[in-house]
Every structure is written in structure tokens, then in C-alpha cells.
Amino acid sequence: MIEGIEGLYQQIADSIVEAIHEPWSVAKVEAIFYPDSITFEAEYVRQAGGLASFATTLGGDRAFRELRKKFKEAGQPVWGQACFELRADGSFDMKWGYDNCDDNGDTIFDEVEWSRRHDERHKRIAP
């Protein structure tokens, strides 16, 4: 176990609760670390039904960065993608992604894959 990550999980959870201004059942934030940037994608399921997106908060973004730093400092394999899924009851799942990463653990940018993900997300969230 990496020391100090529980508090970072709580910061991410708090940032999700802060960012969503209507009743919801489940929400997730995906962070994708590239060599020169980070992409955050956030969406939630409305309690009344339907999927919506939300803007991540600076505190949540910082917590993802700090999580990655703690992995590096602990000598653990560094992930290029992470997905934090929070349920309204406070339970959560955290998944780490190592696919398509370079030697530094950064996701290798693939324009075709990025466009595919963007289009797929747009179709899921669009009314």
C-alpha cells in the first residue's frame, strides 16, 4: 500500500460531489496523462436518468497528479490512465490503466484514438 493515497481518494470524491449540482447515482472522472498534458473527462448518471458531463475541479485534478507522483516515489509502475468511479452512497472504485504507455508511464497520443473516444463520449452524453 502506498502511504497517503487514501486522503487523495477522498479529495477526488469531494471534488466530484462539489462539481455536480443535481441528484446523481454514479459519477466518474478519467484522467489520461500524456507526455505534455493531462486530459480529464468527467460524467455522471442523473438520479432521474440520463448521462451528463461535468467540469472537474482544480482540487480533484491536483489529487490525480499527486496520486501519480506517489506511485513514482514508491517505485511502483506508473499508470498513464486512471478512472475514479464514485457512487452516491460514497463507495468507489479506482482503476489504473497501463495500455499504450511509453517508458515514463505516459499515454502515447494517438489522434485517431483520441477522436474515437471524443466522438463516442459525445454520443453517450448528447441529448
Look at residue 2 and tell me whether its pLDDT is greater than 70: yes
**pLDDT tens digits for range 8-47:** 999 999 999 999 999 999 999 999 999 999 999 999 999 9
Q: Which long-range contacts (CB under 8 A, 24 or more apart) does 88-91 make?
A: 88/23, 88/24, 88/25, 88/26, 88/47, 90/13
- CA-based torsion, 125, 53, 21, 93: positive or negative: positive
pTM for the model stands at: 0.91
Looking at the chain, the number of H-run helices and the number of E-run strands are: 3, 5
- The Cα-based distances of 45 to 50, 54, 96 in angstroms read 6, 11, 22
Domains of the chain: residue spans and CATH: 5-125 (3.30.500.20)
pLDDT band at 117 (very low <50, low <70, confident <90, very high): confident
Residue 16 class from Cβ within 10 Å (0-12 exposed, 13-18 middle, 19+ buried)?
A: buried
Cell of 24: 446523481
**pLDDT tens digits for range 72-100:** 999 999 999 999 999 999 999 999 999 99
- Give the least confident one: 8-12, 54-58, 115-119: 115-119
